[in-house]
Structure 1
Amino acid sequence: MSATDAHQHTCACCAEPHDGPPLSYGSPAPVSWKSRYRLRRDSELTSDQCMIKGKHFYVHGLVEIPVRDSDETFSWGVWVSLSEDNFGRMHDLWEDPAREQEPPYFGWLSTELPVYPESTLLLKTHVRTREVGRRPLIELEPTEHPLAVEQREGITMDRVREFAGLLLRG
């Protein structure tokens, strides 16, 4: 990463330059997704939901982390596995404004975030649906895992810059 990268980046969503390091990173698919599944009728991957072999169900959401020394929020775009019943319910309500009233769904984190020394796979989560058009909020159960601690306590802009250094180099 060059010195200018730490002060400016091009946004993957809008393709515009922004000052400072990126405030979000994401994964295009759950860790168990394989490209060969695209050929299967019982498997599908969209930007929001995923089904593998008609047996494994996932939703794409955001782990949001407050940045303590700014007004910003940092986000990890992650995938969470859901039970078939919860996935079906979430899918049925996907475009329904009443979905915000749903209780949280239990799920297992299904994205490996390589910036943490401990695996992030299979951390217990609660998936909270939000208004139509916004990704669900992923809340980790309160453990001592560094990701859960950061979600509870927040991070600094130095930590955001550390993520950029780890994820954007090379």
Structure 2
Amino acid sequence: MSRLGPGERVRERVAHGFTTVEDVLYVGLGVVLAMAAVALLGNAAVRFAWSLMAGPIPANVVTVLDQLLLVLMIIEVLYTVQVSFREHVLVPEPFVLVALIAAVRRILVITAEFGSVMDQGSQAARYAMIELGLLTAMAGVLVGCLVGLRKRDKEVVAERA
């Protein structure tokens, strides 16, 4: 058994203290994210129930779908927090997946609102089309990133000290 010098013992204690603080913060972050996801899911369920009774479903479904995709993004971030807490590692896949969900979410919203954008004039429609094109390209790149990451070793890509 090797003996640690006084400086090494202090570094070891400080590192252990930081790890403990990090764990506490991860738990707090996880709890807040879980509460936000549950609240948003409940809100989406209530909105969906009201939209069934209120009138034209297609217009209201876009709002519900937007909220559900936001809940899915929060769940992916929560998964990242869980992995970071459990294994003290950082993996890129959940972040890429959150970005992909965000891009798809925005594409759906723009597409659903395109009729009202057309009423605003050709300049607004042009900007919406440019945004759709950029988001589609970004989604394609993100899918390529996910495929590349999945083909790599299933082990953690970046490990923290």
- TM-score of the two chains, using structure 2 as the length reference: 0.25
Higher Rg of the two aligned structures = 2
Q: Tell me which protein shows more strand as a share of its residues.
A: 1
Q: Tell me which protein shows more helix as a share of its residues.
A: 2
